[in-house]
Homo-oligomer: A and B are copies of this chain.
Amino acid sequence: MNNKLLVLGTIAYDSIESPSGAVKKILGGCATYIGLSASKFKTSCCLVSIVGEDFENSYFKLFESNGVDTSGVHFVSNEKTFFWSGRYLDNFNDRITIETQLNVLTKFKPVVPNKFLDASIVLLGNLDPNLQLDVLNQMKNPKFVIMDTMNFWIEGYRTKLDEIISKVDLISVNEEEARQLTDSLSIIDSAKKLQAMGPKNVIIKKGEHGAILFCDKKIFQVPAFPLKKIFDPTGAGDSFIGGFAGSLSEKKQLSFQAMKTAAVKGSAIASFTVQQFGTKELENLTFRKLNKRIKEFKSLTNFEI
C-alpha cells in the first residue's frame, strides 16, 4: 500500500448565507475541502477536477502550498467555474439552494494523471456517478475506494449509482441520503442494506450529532465536537471524509482500529471547517491546533466502567 490518495470532485465558487453572515464567490467544491483536509496528513493527494478561466491562480497556489497536487485539475478557457449559492436556515440543519450554474462542469472528462494511477486510496466525491465510474475504471488496482453522493444522483441516476456503489469499499452519506437509498427509517437497517449493495464499510453522517461507522458487523460512534457557534456548515462532510481518507493514507492501514481513528480525525477537522465561512479555518489550521482538538475528543468520549 502506498500513501497516494486520488480525489475526484468539484472545485467551485460558492455564495453562502447563514444565520452568522454572508459571503460571495468564495472558494468551494467538494474536492477543495477534501484536498485541504487530507493535506493535514502525510499523504500524497491529487485532485481530479475542472475549473474555468475565472478561477484565480492564487487558489492553485493555495492547494500547492498545502501539498495538494493539482496536475489533474483541468483549466478551460472561455468557460466559467462551477458556481453554487445557498442559504442555511436558523437551525443550520436545513439548506436551500438558491442557484446552481454548472458552467465548465458540463464539459468534465476526468483524466487521472499517470503518476496517480496506482494510488492505493481513491475518494470519489459527490458527482455524477458516470464520472465516478469513469475515474474508477482508470485506476490500477486501488486498495480502498471511498464514495460520497447526494439526493440529486439518488433521484435521477439510480442505475449508474447502484453500479458504482457495488464497486466501492466504503460509502459515506448523511442520514437522509441513507434513508432515500434504502427506503428505511432505521439507521442500523439502512447501514445493513447499504452493505448488502456492495460496500463492506458504511459511514452515516449525522451533522452535529457526529456519525456512525459500520465495518462488517462492527460499529463505532463518531462524536462531533460540541461547538458554541457555527458559521457555515458547507464542506463539513467533505472535510470529514477528506480527513478520514488522509489519515488512512498516512497510516497505510485499513483495519477497523485505523478507521475509528481516521473517523475521529475527520470529525476533528470538520469541527474547524464550520467555524468560519468557506475554507478559511481549514487554511489556518495548524497541526498543533488539530492535535489539541483530537485529544479533546478523547476526553469527551472516554469513560471507565
Q: What is the minimal beta-carbon distance from A2 to any residue of chain B, in angstroms?
A: 23
- Pick from B186, B260, B298: contact of A228, CB below 8 A: B186
Segment at the interface with B among A51-59, A160-168, A219-227: A219-227
The reply on A189 being an interface residue by CB < 8 A is yes
- B188 near A227 with CB under 8 A, answer yes
- A185 near B90 with CB under 8 A, answer yes
Contact with B along A283-305 (1 / 0, CB 8 A): 00000000000110111111111
Instruction: Name the residue among A187, A226, A227, A265 with the largest chain B CB count within 10 angstroms.
Output: A226
- A264 near B303 with CB under 8 A, answer yes
Q: Contacts of A210 on B, CB cut-off 8 Å?
A: 209, 221
- B300 near A186 with CB under 8 A, answer no
- B229 near A186 with CB under 8 A, answer yes
- B298 near A301 with CB under 8 A, answer no
- B298 near A187 with CB under 8 A, answer no
The reply on A91 being an interface residue by CB < 8 A is yes
Complex: chain B residue closest to A294, CB-CB: B305
- Pick from B188, B294, B295, B305: contact of A261, CB below 8 A: B305
The reply on A206 being an interface residue by CB < 8 A is yes
- A228 near B189 with CB under 8 A, answer yes
Complex: chain B residue closest to A224, CB-CB: B221
Q: Contacts of A188 on B, CB cut-off 8 Å?
A: 226-228
CA distance A260 to B189 in the complex (A): 29
The reply on A257 being an interface residue by CB < 8 A is yes
CB contact under 8 A between A209 and B209, given known A187-B226, A226-B188, A228-B186: yes
List 19 contacting pairs A-B, 8 Å CB cutoff, sorted by A: A90-B185, A186-B229, A186-B230, A187-B208, A187-B226, A189-B229, A209-B209, A210-B221, A218-B299, A219-B226, A219-B300, A220-B303, A221-B301, A257-B304, A260-B302, A261-B303, A261-B304, A263-B303, A295-B305
A residues with a Cβ closer than 8 A to B are 90-91, 185-189, 206, 208-210, 212, 218-221, 223, 226-230, 257, 260-261, 263-265, 294-295, 297-305
Pairs of residues from A and B, 6 with the lowest C-beta to C-beta distance, nearest first? A209-B209, A260-B303, A188-B228, A221-B223, A301-B301, A221-B300
Beyond A261-B305, A298-B305, 18 additional pairs, beta carbon < 8 A: A186-B227, A186-B228, A186-B229, A187-B226, A188-B227, A188-B228, A189-B228, A220-B301, A221-B301, A223-B301, A260-B302, A260-B303, A260-B304, A261-B304, A264-B303, A265-B305, A297-B305, A301-B303
